[in-house]
Structure 1
Amino acid sequence: MNSPLLPELVAGSDRTALRFAAAELTYRDLNRLASHLADRLRGRARVAVWATPTMETCVAVVAALVAGVPVVPVNPKIGERELTHVVADSEPDVVLSAPNVELPGPLASLARLPVQVSPADVVATPTAAEPDGETPAFVVYTSGTTGPPKGVVLPRRALAANLDALAEAWGWTADDVLVHGLPLFHVHGLILGVVGPLRRGGSLHHLGRFSSSGVGTELAREATMLFGVPTMYHRLVADCADDPALAAAVGRARLLVSGSAALPATDHARLAELTGQRVVERYGMTETLMNCSVRADGDRRPGTVGLPLPGVDLRLVDDSGTPVGALDGETVGEIEVRGPNLFLGYLNRPDATAEVMRDGWFRTGDMAVRDPDGYVRIVGRRATDLIKSGGYKIGAGEIENVLLEHPGVAEVAVTGEPDADLGERIVAWVVPAGPAPSAEDLADHVARLLAPHKRPRVVRFRESLPRNEMGKVLKRALDG
């Protein structure tokens, strides 16, 4: 018999599982709500969840996990084109959302189940047997550098193995109370930030939306851990500098974790100076969940993502695929990983799955070096077209394709450039077709068709784009 993915849910204790503002659910409440909803989900192929940062999203996801049905979390700010693709590609049988929420486009035509978050008058039903570990748990859509987003199929064994490895590295226990304000439609906010504490039997206090004051309030009370992205920590540093009480609250945390992009060394140093806290960084991808982390009891060196997690095999390879064994902090190779944390493949894309696998190793596309103590330092992407902005990984190619549909754009290249708040900001280099459109018009065009976080923050107009003899744009030759 398989071990339950969420043991404390099965036990149904009176411990707090989830809190959003004044709303709170114990494990007994959550079990009652989730098992009741799970009865209506069993046997379905996939379910979409309108993933707002709310209690309804968490209950919906837990119910689907109880039912053994894979969840397709949908970004509530998704553009119409991306939404059409996600729904057509994943073919969910039903969409779960809070009651009375107006759903857009193709979601509105799906069968819908409203999610109840009041346990009153809801009777718990017997828990079914735990599904096999290879059963898909999530289909999370991630943008590549070209083409539409791909659906990453994550099995239950990847969640269990990876969350347990993180627990070992971070000393994460049932006594921990996690606070975060991350979105609930990607790996960081949803799998690590919601399923993670529930697997441990601990608590999640979600802010709804990140704010330094909200973080400070929770850390001054029960919260012991904070998950965030560099944008959030940058703001937290600035606010701690102006508010000694906030700095003191942050200083009481057991663990601060940053991910999704590198945290600038300046923010590391300032936060340590203001609060006495040193941030732990980790490294992962949607396809692999987390691969590396600095341990809670390890050396929290800025610029590193620590050691491979327990159970994760990690190697660097050269361009021919030959392993690079040097631990000199200088020899660069591409990161490849294997282990129980790996995805099952891209939904409906065996070709794309085959492209990223090499003899059981996942080819991440990330380039790194390893220090003498084995610590991994990521130095960039093999491709130049992945932009990390505000905690998101954004493909330049899809933005370029959408901008080329604008009547005022003749040619375009999209790059990222350093930004103190976002990590990188999206820059569009545009050759106009006639009179130049406004930067706001181009940004709105991208936000409408893709998503707001993919809009260019800067637009620079050029008479031409630098190209090589094959006609490919030389992005490295672009400058301000």
Structure 2
Amino acid sequence: MSGNIADRLRESAVAWPERAAVIDQRENRRTFAELDREVDQLVAGLQSLGLTPGRRIVLMVRPGIEFIALTFALFRAGAIVILIDPGMGRTNIFRCLEEVEPEGFVAIPVVQLIRWWKRREKVFRSARLNVTVGMRIPGFGPTYGDILKLGGVHPPKPVSVAGSDPAAVIFTSGSTGPPKGVAYEHGMFGAQVELIQRQYGIEPGEVDLPGFPLFGLFNAAMGVTTVVPDMNPTRPAQVDPVKILRAIERHGVTQAFGSPAFWNRVGRYCDEHRITLPTIRRALSAGGPVPNHVLERMARVLNGPNADLFTPYGATESLPAASIGGREVLSSTAARTRKGAGTCVGRPFPEIEIRIIRITDGPVAALDVAEACGPGEIGEIIVRGRSVTREYFRRPEATAVAKIADPRSFPGDDRPSVWHRIGDVGYIDGEGLLWFCGRKAHIVHTRLGSMYSVCCEAIFETHPHVYRAALVGIGDVSDEAPVIVIEPEAGKFPETPAAVAAFRDELLRLGAGSPLTSCIREVMFHRSLPVDTRHNVKIQREALKEWAAAVSGRR
């Protein structure tokens, strides 16, 4: 197994010392050699404060040079980096902190103020190693600059780290339940880098603009320059396209990652202003299904040779799993999606195994007791590979439900491997393509059978005035009444009873034309469907279900 993931930054610094590693929003930059030296100074400074391997350190820093340098410094020092999405809300953040019992905070001033104010609460009592990144607060301990100065006195102490050692705890978005801490090992990060670089042919010297901060960490391990976008990473649906396009042109960006909401906004702007992006070789989008209208716009915008928008599929616990390009979707699978076949997410990454098993809610102790589904049969999607995580942090019950034991091991690791139950349902067709049909938790159970969200919603999304649709069930859990909730395109919301009735009739006629949706009798309109805080694309159907029940009077 590979060792410390931070070793890959050192390799980049040796191979390309003068190449820019990070360029932030203010045009500050670090070469790979400078970034590597800065990481070493941070390691030495943190060690002088008492940081030892295995310490759980919460990192809450805005995207930029400091975020990347600190992440690699904590990795290099053998600490366990705790990453919590600030957009998940106060209640969820405190719940996550209670689970990990942090031993320190490397964070922006407002986080340190909250920690100090609540220092007597159990969740903060063990936090002894604290560093402020930003404005100095008297009495709150050292700043980022102080750590660098401390580290300039003595070299860092070498730390031995194996690929199986813990590297980070990354919390899920909590879009279908409370956020869970996913335990990452160093070797898992290394496997992710190798899979992504090989799949997409990413070459050292390329320039990436990551709309999701964590993806910027892969770049330093691949010899790729990171251009930090001027955006709020927790609000990709509100990104300013002008700022994104300016950065792409200024730095000759060859790759960019964003959620479907990010590319929807950028693509619409480019389409309206007839702008193309000739330097970009590949765009990447994940976090939820990418609508066909987004793929169609981006096919016009990405006009470089062989340029495409790729949609890697996976989960926080198992990324990456499968991938497909937008041009293949539009030419081969989009028509089937519009008829309710689900969303095609492509073929497995090299070395990744994907299987479909019979849907069940309880734990599955071993692979040989899981019932396999045949080609084209919808079931639960499970994934196995070196990048697939083994457990949730301090969540044995959740781990037992989400993981399936497999006696086979991977080269260099004598432990039995595990399969991850993604929580999605789908099928593999006769050509080996994986199709996503929705979350298992979002299946609507009617007396006529199960209805799968993504399949049913696509029928209604063919209407030109529908931006997106959401299927929810209300009433008895074993005999739900299916309701389709519609978010119209901008300017198309029906404002009068007559307009509501006419729009509803058109949609019901659409639904009646498919056996998947012919039983739907109720249509509701919503101005803006509630979505997740991380990617602004996963519809929060639990909240929407409550809303629909209240509107219908069937709570």
What TM-score range do you get, normalising by the shorter chain?
0.7 to 0.9
Shift of 1:275: 3.8
Q: How far apart, CA to CA, are the structure 2 residues paired with 1:416 and 1:53?
A: 38
CA deviation string 1:254-291 (max 9, x = no partner) = 10111111111111112213443531111111111211
Alignment partner, residue 324 of structure 1: 373
> How many residues end up aligned between the 2 structures?
403
SS of alignment partner, residue 128 of structure 1? coil
CA displacement, residues 323-370 of structure 1 (integer Å, 9 cap, x when unaligned)? 2241xxx42121111121121311111111011122332211211122
Matches within 5 A, 1:216-227: 216-220=245-249, 221-227=251-257
Contact 2:324 2:346 in 1 (8 A): yes
Give the letter for the 1:361 counterpart.
Answer: W
User: What is the SS of the residue equivalent to 1:305?
Assistant: strand
- Matched residue, 1:266: 293
Residue 22 of structure 2 is matched in structure 1 by 18
Distance 2:384 2:177 in 1: 26
1:80 aligns with 2:90: yes
In structure 2, what is the Cα distance between the partners aligned to 1:261 and 1:280? 13
2:387 maps to 1:377: no
Instruction: Look up the SS of the partner of 1:60 in the other structure.
Output: helix
Where do residues 298-377 of structure 1 align in structure 2 (5 Å cutoff)? Answer: 303-319=343-359, 321-326=370-375, 330-359=376-405, 360-377=418-435
Matches for 1:64-463 after TM superposition, within 5 Å:
64-98=74-108, 100-103=109-112, 105-106=114-115, 109=119, 110-111=127-128, 112-115=130-133, 116=144, 123=152, 125-126=155-156, 128-144=158-174, 148-182=178-212, 184=213, 190=214, 193-209=215-231, 210-220=239-249, 221-244=251-274, 247-248=275-276, 250-276=277-303, 277-294=307-324, 303-319=343-359, 321-326=370-375, 330-359=376-405, 360-384=418-442, 417=485, 419=487, 459=547, 462=550
Q: Over residues 30-64 of structure 1, what are the superposed CA-to-partner deviations in whole Å (9 max), with x where a residue is unaligned?
A: 22222222232333521001142233222221111
Provide the C-alpha distance between the structure 1 equivalents of 2:64 and 2:265, rounded to a whole number of angstroms. Answer: 23
Give the direction of change, closer, same or farther, for the CA distance of 1:179–1:145 in structure 2 (3 Å limit). Answer: closer
Determine which structure has more spread, i.e. the larger CA radius of gyration: 2
3-state SS, counterpart of residue 42 of structure 1: coil
Percent of aligned positions that are identical = 22
Q: TM-score, normalised by structure 2?
A: 0.64
1:117 to 1:311, Cα distance in 2 relative to 1, 3 A: farther
Distance 1:421 1:175 in 2: 40
Please tell me the residue identity of whatever aligns with 1:103.
Q
- Equivalent residue of 2:99, what SS? helix
Cα deviation 1:416-472 (Å, max 9, x = unaligned): 9565899xxxxxxxxxxxxxxxx99xx9xx99xxxxx97969956737764xxxxxx
In the TM superposition, what is the alpha-carbon distance from 1:141 to its structure 2 partner?
1.5
Q: Distance in 2 between matches of 1:107 and 1:119?
A: 20
Q: Helix, strand or coil for the counterpart of 2:344?
A: coil
What amino acid maps onto 1:91 in structure 2?
Answer: E
Query: Which TM-score applies when normalising by structure 1?
Result: 0.74
Partner of 2:506: none
Q: Could you tell me which runs of 5 or more consecutive residues in structure 1 were left unpaired when the two chains were aligned.
A: 185-189, 389-395, 397-412, 423-438, 448-452, 467-472, 474-480
Confirm or deny: 8 A CA contact 1:144 1:150 kept in the other structure: yes
Distance 1:180 1:139 in 2: 21
Give the SS at the match of 2:312: strand
Classify 1:465/1:336 alpha carbon distance in 2 versus 1 (closer, same or farther; 3 Å).
farther
Question: 1:214 deviation in Å?
Answer: 2.7
Q: How far did residue 73 of structure 1 move?
A: 1.4
| CA apart distance, 1:163 | 1.7
Asked if the contact 1:169–1:296 (Cα under 8 Å) also holds between the matched residues in 2, the reply is no
Distance in structure 2 (CA, Å) of the matches to 1:418 and 1:127: 58
Q: Is contact 1:52–1:76 with CA below 8 Å preserved after alignment?
A: no
Q: 1:54 & 1:461 partners in 2: Cα distance?
A: 43
Name the amino acid aligned to 1:23.
Answer: N
- Displacement of 1:253 after TM fit? 0.5
* Higher fraction of strand: 1
8 Å contact from structure 1 (residues 231, 421) kept in 2 = no
Question: Which residues of structure 2 form unaligned runs of 5+?
Answer: 120-126, 134-143, 232-238, 335-342, 361-369, 406-417, 445-452, 455-471, 473-480, 491-525, 534-538
- Provide the C-alpha distance between the structure 2 equivalents of 1:419 and 1:159, rounded to a whole number of angstroms: 38
Q: Do the aligned partners of 2:43 and 2:74 also contact (CA within 8 Å) in 1?
A: yes
- State the SS of the aligned residue for 2:155: coil
Name the SS for the 2:204 alignment partner.
Answer: coil
Distance 1:380 1:202, change over 3 A: same
Superposition CA RMSD, Å? 3.7
1:118/1:421 CA distance change after superposition, 3 Å: farther
Q: Is the 8 A contact 2:311 2:326 kept in 1?
A: no
Q: Secondary structure at the match of 1:289?
A: strand
Partner deviation per Cα, 1:56-77 (whole Å, 9 max, x = no partner) = 2222211111112111113334
What residue identity is the alignment partner of 2:297? R
Post-superposition shift, 1:138?
1.4
User: Which residue of the partner structure matches residue 70 of structure 2?
Assistant: 60
**Residues 181 and 119 (structure 1 numbering): CA distance in 2 closer, same or farther, change over 3 Å?**
farther
Post-superposition Cα deviations, 1:296-343, rounded to whole Å, max 9, x if no partner, equal 9977765422211122111111237322241xxx42121111121121
Amino acid at match of 1:16: A
Find the counterpart in structure 1 of residue 413 from structure 2: none
Q: Which amino acid aligns with 1:74?
A: I
Residues of 2 paired with 1:77 and 1:106: CA distance?
A: 18
Q: Is the Cα contact below 8 Å between 2:390 and 2:403 reproduced in 1?
A: no
1:9 to 1:166, Cα distance in 2 relative to 1, 3 A? closer
Query: Using the alignment, how far apart are the partners of 1:295 and 1:212 within structure 2?
Result: 23
User: CA contact under 8 A between 2:172 and 2:316: conserved in structure 1?
Assistant: yes
Which SS does the other structure have where 1:383 is aligned?
helix
Q: CA deviation at 1:102?
A: 4.8
CA distance in 1, matches of 2:63, 2:52: 25
Which protein has the bigger helix share? 2
User: Residues 197, 335 of structure 1: CA spacing in aligned structure 2 closer, same or farther, 3 A cutoff?
Assistant: same
- Given that 2:80 and 2:166 are in contact with CA atoms closer than 8 Å, whether structure 1 keeps it comes out as yes
* Aligned counterpart, 1:426: none
